[in-house]
């Protein structure tokens, strides 16, 4: 899983997944973030509707543009703490 490859624990990854509520279809994100996802996927020849590509994009985003939130996620020790840590990121993305 892309999230585990970036050094997050299973609890941290699951907390992020719980918050994002990805279903493997077009995520319910603000248009500008959907466009960023589509551009990122296009550059890498990935399907933006695939959950794995979406997770890879989120991992990339949390290690880059939103690295402070990615670091907060890495400090979380439980699934619930991880979900709270990424809540601001989820609010940035979702409508």
For residue 17, report the phi and psi dihedrals to the nearest 5 degrees: -60, -40
Q: Which residue has the tokens 């493997």?
A: 24
- pLDDT for 60 beyond 70: yes
Residue 84 — very low, low, confident or very high, per pLDDT cuts 50/70/90? very high
Per the structure, how many domains does the chain have? 1
Q: What is the pTM of this model?
A: 0.85
Per-residue model confidence (pLDDT) at position 3: 66
CB 6 within 8 A of CB 59: yes
Per-residue model confidence (pLDDT) at position 2: 64
List Cβ neighbours of 77 (8 Å cut-off, separation of 6 or more).
11
Residue 47 — very low, low, confident or very high, per pLDDT cuts 50/70/90? very high
CB 76 within 8 A of CB 85: yes
Q: Which domain holds residue 46?
A: 2-93
List Cβ neighbours of 39 (8 Å cut-off, separation of 6 or more).
none
- pLDDT for 68 beyond 90: yes
């Amino acid at each position: 899983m892309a999230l585990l490859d970036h050094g997050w624990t299973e609890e941290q990854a699951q907390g992020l997944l719980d918050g994002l509520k990805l279903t493997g279809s077009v995520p319910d994100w603000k248009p500008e973030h959907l466009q960023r996802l589509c551009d990122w996927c296009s550059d890498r020849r990935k399907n933006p509707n695939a959950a794995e590509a979406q997770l890879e994009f989120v991992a990339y985003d949390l290690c880059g543009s939103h690295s402070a939130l990615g670091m907060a996620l890495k400090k979380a020790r439980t699934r619930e703490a991880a979900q709270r840590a990424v809540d601001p990121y989820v609010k940035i993305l979702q409508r």
